């Protein structure tokens, strides 16, 4: 098993992981899961080209079995973090037949290492009920973020 950086050639795999992640979360996501992909395609194509998305894929026997990435967004900084960038981990997905083997943990730890190595002082993510236990074990905590659906 090895980890490799994603390239534009991996766009379809990234989109597939993202689609399946939302499909598995169910609920309201299921109503829009197929319609959102064109927006995601445009975003990830540009982000992979300009470096505002760092993707990492896990290969086993020449097959990609998992992946995840870091979205790097421009940010105005704050008194707690002067960096004008913000990192969000997203798209953490492991094919069902390879789950419960530590692959998600390995991927997440590699993404966190990449964030540290690239000067980020914090990283955020949106946790599904499935991922929350792993994120909490690795030190993620709830924040004061709120959201209003318009």
Per residue in 38-80, pLDDT (tens digit) is 889 999 999 999 999 999 999 999 999 999 999 999 989 888 7
Residue 145 has pLDDT above 80, yes or no: no
- The model carries a pTM of 0.89
Q: How confident is the model at residue 7 (pLDDT cuts 50, 70, 90)?
A: very high
Instruction: Tell me how many degrees the CA angle 37-136-55 measures, rounded to the nearest 5.
Output: 35
pLDDT confidence of 148, banded at 50, 70, 90?
A: low
Higher local confidence (pLDDT), 148 or 43 = 43
**Closest to 59 (Cα-Cα) out of 69, 67, 51:** 67
Report the CATH number of the 2-137 domain. Answer: 3.40.630.30
pLDDT (tens digit, 9 = 90+) per residue, 103-112?
A: 999 999 999 9
Task: List the chain domain ranges.
Answer: 2-137
């Amino acid at each position: 098993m090895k980890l490799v950086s994603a390239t534009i050639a991996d766009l379809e795999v990234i989109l597939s992981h993202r689609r399946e992640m939302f499909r598995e979360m169910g609920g309201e996501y299921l109503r829009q899961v197929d319609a959102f992909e064109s927006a995601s395609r445009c975003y990830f194509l540009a982000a992979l080209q300009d470096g505002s998305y760092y993707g990492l894929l896990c290969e086993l026997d020449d097959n990609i079995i998992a992946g995840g990435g870091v979205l790097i967004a421009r940010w105005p900084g704050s008194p707690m973090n002067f960096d004008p960038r913000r990192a969000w981990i997203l798209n953490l997905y492991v094919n069902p037949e390879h789950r419960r083997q530590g692959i998600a943990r390995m991927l997440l730890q590699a993404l966190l290492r990449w964030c540290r190595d690239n000067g980020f002082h914090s990283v955020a993510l949106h946790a599904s009920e499935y991922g929350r236990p792993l994120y909490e074990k690795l030190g993620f905590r709830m924040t004061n973020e709120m959201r209003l659906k318009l």
